[in-house]
Structure 1
Amino acid sequence: MKNIFFLFLVLMFTTTSAQNMFEVNWEKRFGGGYEDQAKSIINSGDGAYVIAGWTKSLGNGGRDAMVVKVNATGNKIWEKTFGKEQDDVIYSAVLSPEGNYIMCGSTFNKQTEYYSWWVFAIDKNGTKLWENTYGGSEWDAAKAIISTTDGFVIAGVRKNRGDMDKEMTLMKINKKGVKQWECPLGVRYYDDEATSVAATVDEGFIVAGWSKKDSGPNKQIHLAKVDKRGHAEWQKTFGGEISDFAKSITPTNDGRFIITAASRSKTNGEEDIRVIKIDAKGELEWDLNYGGLYSDIPNAISSTDDNGCIIAGYTKSVGNGNENLFLMRLDRKGNIVWERFFVNYKWVSAESIAISDNGYTIAGWATSEDGDDSDLFIMNLTDNFDKQVNNYITENTKSGDTKTRDEIKKEAISKFKIDKVSFADYYSAPNKADITYRGGGDPLKGLNVTTKPKDNQFGEYYALIIGIDNYKGIWSPLKNAVRDAQTVEQVFKTVYKFDHVKTIYNEKATRANIIREMEWLIENVSPKDNVLIYYSGHGEFKKNLNKGFWVPVDASTNSTSAYISNSEIQTFLGGIPSRHTLLIADACFSGDIFRGNTMSVPFEQSEKYYAEVNALKSRQALTSGGIELVMDGGKDGHSIFAYYLLQALKENKNKYFDASQLYSKLKIPVVNNSEQTPSFNPIKSTGDEGGQFIFIKR
C-alpha cells in the first residue's frame, strides 16, 4: 500500500518553516481488501502503540475485532483478530496498571440475535487473558473504557428487553471482568447513549453522551456525574435547539473537563464542532463552535499540559468536499492555537489520538490507493509550536529591555501565527466582511477564532412526500402520482441534503394521516429548519365555496368532509415553526393556495445572495397549475410537471439551488408541452418575508 501524501494549506511563517513548526514523522496502513477501521489508540506502556478497531478483510466473517501493536516508528510488532462469524467490534481500549490492554465494544450472539457489551483483556503479546459479555439486546454496545486503581469503568448504551428506550449506562468491573455495579443514566422516556467517560479527582466519573425524545429528531448533549459507588450525583443537558451529541470528554490538569460534540444547533451549515468546558460540578465555563459550511466532526480529544486540548476528526468544509482529516489545538479558554488539514486523500478521518514524548499519534481510517473500502490508518506528528515560541522569547529577551516577557510572548505568537488555515477562511472567503476575529488582533486572545456569519446558518431539512394513485368511488385512479412522488423521494435522499424524509403513499394517505404528519412537523421542526411538502394526487375546486381542496385516498364521494381544504393547509403551513417552508403541489386547482404577494431579493449566483434569502423567512408554493385541470400523464412515466421538476433538480450543478431557480427552469417547458401554467408565489398569511427555500447538494 502506498504512503499517504499530505498537504498543508497555505502555511505562512515569519522566521521558521512549516516543516519545522509541525512535522509528520510517519504514517502506516493496515488491513486488506475490505473495510478496516481504527477506533482507539493507546500508549502501550513500553514505548509502542496499540491500535484497536475492526476489520472485514480478516478474521472469521462479518466485522471482527482487530488489534495492531506498532513500535515508536510505526512498524508492526504484531496483529491479531478476535471474534466469531458475526459482528464483533472494538470501540475503545485502555492500558491496565499491570501493563495489559483492555478492550470494550459489542458482540453479536447468533442464537439470541442480540448484541451484548463485550470486554476482553490481552497481554503485551496479544494473547487473550479473559473475556466477558454483559446484557443483550438489539442496541447494547460498550463505547468507552477507563482504568481505575481496582478495575475498569465502562460507558455505553443498553436496552433492557421489553423497554422502548435506549439507556445511557455506566458499569464498574474488577480486574477480572466481574461486574461490581451498574448505573443507569439519562432521561426517562428518552433515548440516551454514553459515548465517553472521564475520571474525577474524588474517584468518581463524568459521563458524556446524548439524549433525545423518542418522538423527535433532536439530540442534546447529556452529562452525568457518578460517584465511586455507582450512584448518580447530577445530570445536565446542553444544546438541543436542533441537534447536539457529545463525542468525547477529557479531564484537564486544573480539575475541569472539555467535551466535544457534533452540533447542528449553532452552525454555519451542516454539523459543526462544538466544544464546551465545565467545572467538576458541571457548571459551564465556556461554549464555542468551530467549523465551515459543511460537516465538521470532532471524533477525538486529548488534554494538553496548558489545560487546553487537541481535537481530531474530519471536515468536509476544507479541501475536496470529501471527509478530510483535521487537527486543532485549543488553549484553556478555547482560543485556536493552530489548525491542520490533510486534503490529498479521497476520504480520511481521525477517530482517536494519543499524546506522548513522541508527539501526537492519530488513528482512524483512510481509503486505500488500490480501490478497496478503507484501511486502518495511523499517523505520527510533532508539534513544535511551543518550542519555537519559547526559543523566540529566549533569543529576544535582553537585559535592560523595556519589554516584559508577556509582551515578547505576544510578539512571538504573532510571528508564528498561521495565516489562512482557519475553518472560517473556507466558508467565508467570498465575503470577507462577514468574518469577525475575536481579540481585536491580540494573538493571545485567539488565533483565527471567528464568530459565525448569521445568514448562512442552515438548519435541518425535512420532507413530507404524499402520493396517491389508488382512488375509489367517484375519483378515478391515477397512474403516475405515486411514481412521481417516489422519484422525488429518491432524488431528495441521494442528491440533496434532507435529514428527515417521511412518505405517505396510496392507502396510508388518508385525511387523518396527512393531518397527523403536518402536526408532527409543527411539534418537531425548529426555527432554523427547512420544510418541503410534496403532494401528488387529485385536487378539487368548489366554485360555490370559492375554495380548493386536496383529495385524500379515503375520499370516495364529492363531499368536502373527507377533503383537506387549502385554507387548512395554509393554517398548518403557518404553524410549522421553520425558517423556510416550500409546498410543491402537482394536482388540479392547486393554484388556489396562493392569493398572497411579497417582494423578494433579486437573484444572483453568489454566497451573499443565498445568505440574504436564507436569513428571510419564506412560505411559498410551487404548483403544477393555477385554478385549472392539470395532466396526470405526460413524459417517461411522469406527469409533465413532475418530469420537468425532476429534470431541473437532477441537472442542477451548483451547490445551492433555490425554489425560484427551480421554478424558472421548469416553467417554460411545462407551458410549451401542456395546457397548464405552473405558478410560484408566497402563501398568504403564513409569515412569508421574501426569502427562499434553498436546496443544498450533497
Structure 2
Amino acid sequence: MIIALLAVCMLATPVLGAVPALDWQTTYGVECTENAFAMVPLGGGKILFCGDTGKWAVNTHPGAKGQNDLWLAEVGDDGSEIWDYCYGGTDDDSGRSIAATADGGWIIAGYTDSNDLDVSGNHGGRDAWVVKLNPDRTIAWQQCLGGTESDVARYVIQTSDGGYLVTGVTASEELTGHNGWEDGFVAKLLPDGTPDWFYCYGGENIDGLLDVIETSGGGYLIRGYTGSDEIPGYHGFWDLWILKITPSGALDWERCYGGSDLDINNLYDRGSGLIECADGYLVLADTKSTDGDVTGVVQGDADIWIVKIGFDGTILGQATLGGEGYETIGTIRPVSGGGYILVATTTSSGGDVSGNHGDKDIWVVRLAADYSIVWQKCLGGSRDEYGYDVLEMTPGTFELVGVTQSDDGDVTGYVTPTGLILTDAWIVRLANDGGGGVPVPEFPGILIPGALLGVLGCTALLLRRRP
C-alpha cells in the first residue's frame, strides 16, 4: 500500500471569498470637524447616525449652538443626506452611542460640558449625557450623569423592562463606590429617564467600561479595560476586562484577559464588541501581548483579538488578525448566512491586510464562523481614516460609518479649510459580497489543515490511500 501526499498549493496570495465592491461613499461635513461614531438602521436602506460637529457649523447645521454639538443625521439608500440636526448647549457636546427604542424613537449617550439650552442638570465639568428622542426627533427627556469631574457615557441600550442601561467612564471621586483615578460606571434609568441606580466598578488605577448587552439568562455582560492589578486575573498594562452583573447591578463575576502588554486600547476603541452565542459570548479586543491568555500570533504593533468565552468567563477559543502595523477595533456583528462582519482601523499593508491607501485606513473583514478571513478590504485615502460601526443592510450589503481626513483614494467630497486637516464623517456602502470562501475539492481522504502548510505554501494537505 502506498500513501500519496497531495498538496493543494498556491504560491501567490490565496483567493478567498468575493470581495464586495464600493457601491457608494459620501462625506458629510462643512469647514469644521465632523465625526460619525454609531448608527441604527431605519428601513428602506436608510440609516441614522450620531456623532458630533465642530463650532464652525453654527450657520450650516440646523440647531448648531456654537461649540461642538451632538450631531444626528439621516442618510438615504443612495448616500444622500435627508435630514440633520444638532443637540446640546453652548459648550461641547457629543453623541457616542445610539439605539432604537420600542416607542419608535431613539436613545443617545455621550457627554456634555454644557448646562443650558438643551442641557440641564450638569453636575460640574463634563457629564455623561443621555438624550431620549421622540419619533419626530424632538427631545422627550435628557439626563446628566456624573459628578464634579469628567464623566463620559460610552454606550446605551434599552432594557427588556423598558428602561435603559448606560456604561462609561468617570473620574468623579465623590461618586459612591469610586476607587481609583478613573472607574467604569453603569447607570440604570427608568423609562422616563429617572436614575434607578448608579454604580462604579474598578480598582485603584484607570478603568473604564465600553459597551454592554442584556443576556438571555438575565443580567448584563459588559466589556471594558483595566489597569488595576487588584482585578481578578490581571496580567499587566491594560487588560481586557469583562464583567457580568445582575439586573440590579450587583457583580456576578469579573475577569481580566490578556498578557503583559496592552490588550485593549482605552483611547481609541469604541463601537460594539459583544455578541451572545449559543455556548457563550464573542468578545472583541486588540492586543500587543504575546503571552498570558494570548495564544495567536501578533504580527505587528497591535492586532485584532477575538476571544470566545463561556457563560462563566472561561476562554473557549480565540483568534488574532492584522498585519505589521497597528490595528484598533471598531465593531463586530453577526451576519446572515453565518460568520461575522468586522470594522476596524489599520496602519498595516501586510499580513492579513492588503490594499492600504496610506497611514490609517478603515479595515473591513468578513469572517467565517471559525474566525477565518473570508475577505478583507481597506478603505481610505492618503491621510487618516477611522472605522467605528458597521451594519448588514441586506444579505451581502454592508454600510460603514467612520471619519476621514483624505481627499483622494476612495474618498471624494472631503471639505476642510485651507491649511487645516480636520475630519469629515464618512459613510461607505459595500455591495455584492460573495459570502463564502473557496470550496475544498471533494476528494476521498483526510484533509489536514495546520501551520505546517504555510511552510509548504499550501492551503490544504490531503492524504490519499492508494491501493
TM-score between the two structures when normalised by the length of structure 1: 0.52
Cα deviation for residue 347 of structure 1 reads 1.9
Mapped pair 1:66 → 2:64: no
Mapped pair 1:272 → 2:277: no
Q: Which residue in the other structure is 2:170 paired with?
A: 158
User: Does the 8 Å CA contact 1:146/1:198 hold for their aligned counterparts?
Assistant: yes
User: Does the 8 Å CA contact 1:200/1:280 hold for their aligned counterparts?
Assistant: no
Cα deviation for residue 344 of structure 1 reads 3.3
CA distance in structure 1 between the aligned counterparts of 2:159 and 2:137, rounded to whole angstroms:
22
For the structure 1 residues 356 and 343, does the alpha-carbon distance in structure 2 shift closer, same or farther, using more than 3 Å as the test?
A: closer
CA distance in structure 2 between the aligned counterparts of 1:279 and 1:439, rounded to whole angstroms:
35
Mapped pair 1:322 → 2:359: yes
Match of 1:222 among 204, 227, 241: 241
Q: Which residue in the other structure is 2:89 paired with?
A: 84
Q: Which segment drifts farther, 38-47 or 210-219?
A: 210-219
For the structure 1 residues 236 and 333, does the alpha-carbon distance in structure 2 shift closer, same or farther, using more than 3 Å as the test?
A: same
User: Does the 8 Å CA contact 2:65/2:90 hold for their aligned counterparts?
Assistant: yes
Q: Which residue in the other structure is 1:335 paired with?
A: 372
User: Does the 8 Å CA contact 1:45/1:99 hold for their aligned counterparts?
Assistant: no
After the TM superposition, which residues 213-292 of structure 1 pair with which residues of structure 2 at under 5 Å, given as runs?
213=228, 218-245=237-264, 247=269, 248-266=272-290, 267-292=298-323
Match of 2:46 among 45, 48, 51: 48
Q: Which residue in the other structure is 1:207 paired with?
A: 222
Q: Which residue in the other structure is 2:29 paired with?
A: 31
CA distance in structure 2 between the aligned counterparts of 1:307 and 1:240, rounded to whole angstroms:
30
- DSSP-derived class of the 1:441 partner: strand
Cα deviation for residue 13 of structure 1 reads 5.7
- DSSP-derived class of the 2:308 partner: strand
CA distance in structure 1 between the aligned counterparts of 2:254 and 2:457, rounded to whole angstroms:
34
For the structure 1 residues 434 and 71, does the alpha-carbon distance in structure 2 shift closer, same or farther, using more than 3 Å as the test?
A: same
Match of 2:459 among 436, 441, 462: 441
After the TM superposition, which residues 65-144 of structure 1 pair with which residues of structure 2 at under 5 Å, given as runs?
65-109=70-114, 113-144=124-155
Cα deviation for residue 85 of structure 1 reads 2.0
Q: Which residue in the other structure is 1:170 paired with?
A: 186
For the structure 1 residues 141 and 336, does the alpha-carbon distance in structure 2 shift closer, same or farther, using more than 3 Å as the test?
A: same
After the TM superposition, which residues 460-499 of structure 1 pair with which residues of structure 2 at under 5 Å, given as runs?
none
Q: Deviations over 1:299-352 (max 9, x none)?
A: 221123465321112111123541111111222322222211124342212111
After the TM superposition, which residues 320-399 of structure 1 pair with which residues of structure 2 at under 5 Å, given as runs?
320-357=357-394, 359-369=397-407, 370-372=415-417, 373-386=422-435
Instruction: Count the aligned residue pairs.
Output: 397
User: Does the 8 Å CA contact 2:380/2:404 hold for their aligned counterparts?
Assistant: no
Q: Which residue in the other structure is 1:654 paired with?
A: none
For the structure 1 residues 224 and 214, does the alpha-carbon distance in structure 2 shift closer, same or farther, using more than 3 Å as the test?
A: closer
CA distance in structure 1 between the aligned counterparts of 2:219 and 2:44, rounded to whole angstroms:
28
Cα deviation for residue 296 of structure 1 reads 1.1
For the structure 1 residues 198 and 345, does the alpha-carbon distance in structure 2 shift closer, same or farther, using more than 3 Å as the test?
A: farther
CA distance in structure 2 between the aligned counterparts of 1:308 and 1:278, rounded to whole angstroms:
17
- The residue type equivalent to 1:117 in the other structure is A
- The residue type equivalent to 2:199 in the other structure is C
CA distance in structure 2 between the aligned counterparts of 1:49 and 1:92, rounded to whole angstroms:
14
Cα deviation for residue 259 of structure 1 reads 1.7
User: Does the 8 Å CA contact 1:183/1:232 hold for their aligned counterparts?
Assistant: no
Mapped pair 1:192 → 2:207: yes
User: Does the 8 Å CA contact 1:137/1:158 hold for their aligned counterparts?
Assistant: no
- DSSP-derived class of the 2:435 partner: helix
- The residue type equivalent to 2:249 in the other structure is G
Cα deviation for residue 251 of structure 1 reads 1.4
User: Does the 8 Å CA contact 2:93/2:114 hold for their aligned counterparts?
Assistant: no
User: Does the 8 Å CA contact 1:323/1:347 hold for their aligned counterparts?
Assistant: yes
- DSSP-derived class of the 1:190 partner: coil
Mapped pair 1:299 → 2:330: yes
User: Does the 8 Å CA contact 1:252/1:308 hold for their aligned counterparts?
Assistant: no
User: Does the 8 Å CA contact 1:78/1:125 hold for their aligned counterparts?
Assistant: no
Cα deviation for residue 105 of structure 1 reads 0.5
Q: Which residue in the other structure is 1:575 paired with?
A: none
Identity of aligned residues (%): 21
- DSSP-derived class of the 1:27 partner: strand
TM-align CA RMSD? 3.5
- DSSP-derived class of the 1:175 partner: coil
Cα deviation for residue 184 of structure 1 reads 2.6
For the structure 1 residues 38 and 136, does the alpha-carbon distance in structure 2 shift closer, same or farther, using more than 3 Å as the test?
A: same
User: Does the 8 Å CA contact 1:27/1:74 hold for their aligned counterparts?
Assistant: yes
After the TM superposition, which residues 259-658 of structure 1 pair with which residues of structure 2 at under 5 Å, given as runs?
259-266=283-290, 267-305=298-336, 308-318=339-349, 319-357=356-394, 359-369=397-407, 370-372=415-417, 373-386=422-435, 436=454, 441-442=459-460
Q: Deviations over 1:18-67 (max 9, x none)?
A: 6xx51222211111112111010111256521110011142223321110
Cα deviation for residue 236 of structure 1 reads 0.3
Where structure 2 has 5 or more consecutive residues not aligned to the other structure, the ranges are 1-11, 58-63, 116-121, 291-297, 350-355, 408-414, 462-467
Identify, as 1 or 2, the structure richer in strand. 2
CA distance in structure 2 between the aligned counterparts of 1:217 and 1:201, rounded to whole angstroms:
32
Higher relative contact order (CA 8 A, sep 6+): 2
Q: Which segment drifts farther, 313-322 or 197-206?
A: 313-322
Where structure 1 has 5 or more consecutive residues not aligned to the other structure, the ranges are 1-9, 397-401, 415-432, 444-698
Cα deviation for residue 218 of structure 1 reads 1.5
Identify, as 1 or 2, the structure richer in helix. 1
Q: Deviations over 1:163-189 (max 9, x none)?
A: 642111222212221222233323x21
CA distance in structure 2 between the aligned counterparts of 1:439 and 1:388, rounded to whole angstroms:
18
For the structure 1 residues 132 and 257, does the alpha-carbon distance in structure 2 shift closer, same or farther, using more than 3 Å as the test?
A: same
Cα deviation for residue 222 of structure 1 reads 0.5
- DSSP-derived class of the 2:381 partner: coil
For the structure 1 residues 132 and 438, does the alpha-carbon distance in structure 2 shift closer, same or farther, using more than 3 Å as the test?
A: farther
- The residue type equivalent to 1:342 in the other structure is L
Mapped pair 1:183 → 2:224: no
Q: Which residue in the other structure is 1:424 paired with?
A: none
Cα deviation for residue 239 of structure 1 reads 1.0
Cα deviation for residue 371 of structure 1 reads 4.0
Q: Which segment drifts farther, 373-382 or 280-289?
A: 280-289
User: Does the 8 Å CA contact 2:357/2:378 hold for their aligned counterparts?
Assistant: no
Cα deviation for residue 240 of structure 1 reads 4.2
For the structure 1 residues 241 and 151, does the alpha-carbon distance in structure 2 shift closer, same or farther, using more than 3 Å as the test?
A: same
For the structure 1 residues 434 and 311, does the alpha-carbon distance in structure 2 shift closer, same or farther, using more than 3 Å as the test?
A: same
